[in-house]
Every structure is written in structure tokens, then in C-alpha cells.
Amino acid sequence: MQELTYTAPNALEWREAPEPELSSDAAALVRPLAVATCDLDALIITGQSPFAPPFALGHECVAELVDTGDAVSSLAAGELVSVPFQISCGECEPCRRGRTGNCAEVMFMSTYGFGPAVERWGGFLSDLVCVPYAEHMLVPVPDGLAPAAVASASDNISDAWRAVAPPLSDQPGAPVLVVGGAGAGSIGLYAVGLGLALGAESLLYVDADPGRRRTAEALGAETLAEVPTRLGPFPITVDASADPEGLALALRSTAPDGICTSSAIYFDPPTLPLLEMYTKGITFKTGRAHVRAAMPQVLALAATGKLQPELVTTKVVGWADARDALLEGGWTKLVIER
């Protein structure tokens, strides 16, 4: 089979690779049908990530189930499934507690498409992929949803979900601030769509990029191009900027006893306004999202039509055009489909 491989900064190749086999009775083989870029992919392709080449790309997808092990009874060949980018067993203590990104049964940071275990698991821009814990990992896609529309449910949309859904559950209708812009910039936009779909009374999106601001406005947000010192205060804030000034804005704009969640990756440690955070008693959360728990909720919300993730998509291209489209860049969310 073929898989699209990152070989060097700004260099991608279709390479031949052995077809995966069912690794156990609990495993499944899937054929990716719609693969979306993650915001991290833009950094990977240009050589700005810490992950050394070569490795197979792709860690957001909707796939067709091709084959299953004998112990898999709840899934059948031909089903459309969303495949989480993180490998998790569903039975260890971290998984039972919903911390599926830190499954104790696999190597730390076991993911498709990047990371220290990518040689074992491969990437979704491949003809065939093995899913080791099929009944736990695979989430059926509701009828009526186009694979291209929800390809990012397996990472970026669910990453945005954790930033807005739990806080809005605790404070229904609260206004939300999202500071966007990290990488290609889709996570902040998904946070906008999710926040409004979940009932935020208002949502302000801050980003210097005019294209992303137009998307945020189409989703229903008010927007601001400049990054001031502070705004609000907002009970719920999201830092999806990967910019120390954006992070500081989100933290300073968080109301007393509010919550700020950062989905951004900071390779260099930023300075935090810790005294202000302390005196206001705010909660700050960061870290890799545990996406498996959020995926069914994200897909269900998209099925209702309240969430329209396709509005974030910049371009949909065919499988044969994947390499050129990825190298061309300029996308917020690129989807590659068969």
C-alpha cells in the first residue's frame, strides 16, 4: 500500500509500506476516506515541530471499516467511523477516568501521524490503518453527516470541545472569549462554533488574520483584530493563539473564579501573569486533549445541525492531490478525500 510520508522540511513523498494486519481479536482495519489537517500539521510540514522525519502523516479522519477481529461484535464492515488520533485501550485506569490520551497500555503519546510511536501506528494518509482497540476507539458517524465535514472530530474539533463545553455546562449561557491563531488556526474557530452551539450568550473572537475573522463572523461571533492588554472580564476564555501576548490577553481577561483553557502549544515557555491569576482565583488548564470522550458529543451536535464544522474548512481536494495541496499551504483546514 501507499502512505504519504514527511521526509524533510517542505518535502513529502508517497511511499510503499506493508499493509497492516489485524493485531489481535480486538483490532480492526479501516480505510481512511476523509483526512483533515490538524493545526500541528502546518508546523510538521515546514519543519517547525520536534518530530524528526521520516514518518507517515495524517491524524484526523473518517474511515470505512474493512475488517475486524473475532472479538469485535458491535461494528460491521462498511460502517463509517471516526478514528481518534490517540491510541487507547478503554480499560486501564487512565482510560476509565476519561484520560485516553495517557493510556497506560501503550507507549506514552501513542498517536497516528506524528509522535514517538508513529512508526508503529502509521498515519491516516494511507490506504489501510490498524486500530488496535476497535470497540473502544471507533465512533460510528451518524447518518447524514458527510465524512469531509466531520473528519476533524477525531482531534481538533474535540480539542476545541474540551475548552468550551465543560465550562458552559457549569455556567450555562456565559459569554466566551476565544483568542485564535495557533498554527493554521482551526481550533479557535471550532471553539467559536461549539461555544455558540452550546448556548454562549455572546462570543468574542480575537485574531489578526482577516480570513479567520470572516469565518468566525460566519459562525456567529463578534471579532477583533487587535490584541489589547485585557478585555471583558469573561467567565470562560480560550487561548488558541500560540502567542504569548494572546495567552496573556486570555488570562487577564478571565473573570474572578473563571476558567481559561489553552489548546495551544508553546515550545518556548511564556511569561504568565501569575499574581493576577492568583488574586482573581482563576483556573488555568492546558495540555493535550483526551479526545475519545468528546467525539460522540461532537458528532451528535454536528448531526443536529447546530454545529457546522464545514464552515471552517478551507478546501477539499482529492486523494491524488494531497501532497501538492499540503505543500502549497495557506489553509486553515484542508480535507483530503477519496
The residue ranges of every structural domain in the chain are 2-155+289-337, 156-286
- For 247-265, write each residue's pLDDT tens digit: 999 999 999 999 999 999 9
**Phi then psi for 21, rounded to 5 degrees?**
-120, 160
- For 23-32, write each residue's pLDDT tens digit: 899 999 999 9
What average pLDDT does the chain have?
Answer: 97
CATH level 3 topology of 156-286 = Rossmann fold (3.40.50)
177, HSE (Cβ side, Cα atoms, 13 Å): 29
pTM higher than 0.75 for the full model? yes
- For 114-158, write each residue's pLDDT tens digit: 999 999 999 999 999 999 999 999 999 999 999 999 999 999 999
The CATH class, in words, for 2-155+289-337 is alpha beta
Average pLDDT over residues 181-207: 96
| Closest to 4 (Cα-Cα) out of 49, 30, 35, 48 | 35
Contact residues for 27 (Cβ-Cβ < 8 A; gap 6+): 68, 69, 72, 130, 131, 132, 133, 134
* Distance between CA atoms of residues 164 and 173, nearest Å: 11
| Closest to 174 (Cα-Cα) out of 248, 240, 257, 230 | 257
Confidence tier at 182 by pLDDT (50, 70, 90): confident
